[in-house]
Structure 1
Amino acid sequence: MSSIRPLALAAALLLALPAAAQVPPTAAQAAAYQGLHAAAASGDSAKLKRLLAAGPDVEARDAYGRTALHVATFARKRDAIRLLAQAGASLNALENERYDAVTIAAVADDEDTLRLLLELGASSGQITSRYDGTALIAAAHLGHAGVVHQLIAAGAPLDHVNNLHWTALIESIVLGDGGPRHQATLKALLDAGASTTLADRQGNSPLQLARQRGYAAMVQMLESAGTKH
């Protein structure tokens, strides 16, 4: 099969993905928040403690399905995340676009917040987003190598296939730019033992996909890992 169709498909999907990605609260939405959501957005720990002492519904959601913990994660308010978790807030809840806190932190390349979430017991392997992906796939797509290392260490599924028929390793190639960040991401996945034989929907292997794009460094990495096809 010619490489033109897969390349065109990947390009079209790459353009479409941002529009379908997670949506953080706007400034106007954050300003309109009340109660737990307001305290989480501002990181006001004293106010949050007072509110939590009254036993509120820690799973209450805004119009976009975000809990206070989602809001605190978007805002990088780690003290608020810890307080909410201690009060029983779910670390694995999905908002309306089916993102959890771990994937929100992963997409934002927020290693400190991700580390805290994982330490508190958040799952590294939830199926998230309309693409039925994982935080690892999202991070690989974006070339967030540090996040990828954390998720691998936390036991994230290496070879989950999303509904685009891509793994994290494939996404590091087809949605990356072939540069240093995505090379580091690919290396982390290879070192962890991610499959180099799982193919995309058109039957293209990771090595074929790297060759099609002219990503010489990635081709060399895959070949050095023992990939033949």
Structure 2
Amino acid sequence: MFRLSTVFVLALLIFASVSAIASGAAMNQSALHAAAATDDVSTIEKLLAEGVEIDARDGSGATALLVATHDDNIAAATALIEAGANVNAKDNIEDSPYLYAGARGHLEILRMTLSHGADLKSVNRYGGTALIPASERGHVETVRTLIEAGVDVDHVNKLGWTALLEAIILGDGGERHQQIVGLLVKAGANVNLADGDGVTPLRNARSRGFREIEKLLLAAGAS
């Protein structure tokens, strides 16, 4: 009886030790995410030197790099990327540092992801490349950067929209979206590739009264 009780106590102690280690690791991982959220490079470097997993996930599936990208924390993102963080690691809603930086126009972080292995063919939960939401949201320099990097300008997302269509359908027709349409056209975007309902970019532009965009499309051979 004594021996069985002793074994049971020892098992409990071992379990408690393992749990404590796991809890400590989780705390360190949480600390890494917190440091990324506050752009605290010194803490990031300290935690990584202590062996914290650089691509550990939080409750949303985000890595510390994605947390830094959310807030456009350039210093933290730089430290993590240079230490080897995965720029393509997706969270639970299929955002990655690369995709999020592109969609939100976080240009400096985007450029770092591109120089550290960004997957240009990766897509978000809508099936779109980084170029599509960047075009929609009017991030001119981001669109230029992604085009120069080689992202497919005619990729079609789950909604049946290309970057050109999304710039027109969800854009405001103003100067930024005019520039983006011009960039996409110059990059060889198919100006006659219709949406899922068979409506072309030109018809979409006309129905919204986007006269300047209409001119750009006509000059590129749209019909």
After superposing on structure 2, the runs of 4+ consecutive aligned residues of structure 1 that deviate more than 4 Å are none
- The one of 139, 142, 160 equivalent to 1:147 is 142
Contact 1:141 1:168 in 2 (8 A): yes
Give deviations 1:125-165, integer Å, cap 9, x for gaps. 31112x11111000111111111001001111111100100
Alignment of structure 1 residues 3-42 onto 2, 5 Å: 34-42=30-38
Give per-residue Cα distances to partners, 1:188-209, cap 9 Å, x unaligned: 1001111112111111111111
1:178 is matched with which residue: 173, 197, 216? Answer: 173
Deviation string 1:22-60 (CA, Å, 9 cap, x unpaired) is xxxxxxxxxxx8321011111111111111012222221
- Structure 1 alignment gaps of length 5 or more: 1-32
Q: Specify every segment of 5 or more residues in structure 2 that has no aligned partner in the other structure, as ranges.
A: 1-28
Aligned counterparts of 1:180 and 1:75: Cα–Cα separation in 2: 26
With the length of structure 1 as denominator, give the TM-score of the two structures.
0.80
Aligned residues: 195
Structure 2 equivalent of residue 193 of structure 1: 188
The Cα shift of 1:183 comes to 0.6
CA distance in 2, matches of 1:133, 1:43: 29
Look up the match of 1:109: 105
Distance apart, 1:68 and its partner CA: 0.2
The answer to whether the Cα contact below 8 Å between 1:103 and 1:138 also exists between their aligned partners in 2 is no
SS of the residue corresponding to residue 184 of structure 1 reads helix
Q: Percent identity?
A: 44
Residues 78 and 109 of structure 2 are in contact (CA less than 8 Å); yes or no, is this contact kept in structure 1?
Answer: no
Answer whether contact 1:69 1:89 (CA < 8 A) is retained: yes
The residue that corresponds to 2:133 in the other structure is: 138
CA distance in 2, matches of 1:83, 1:179: 37
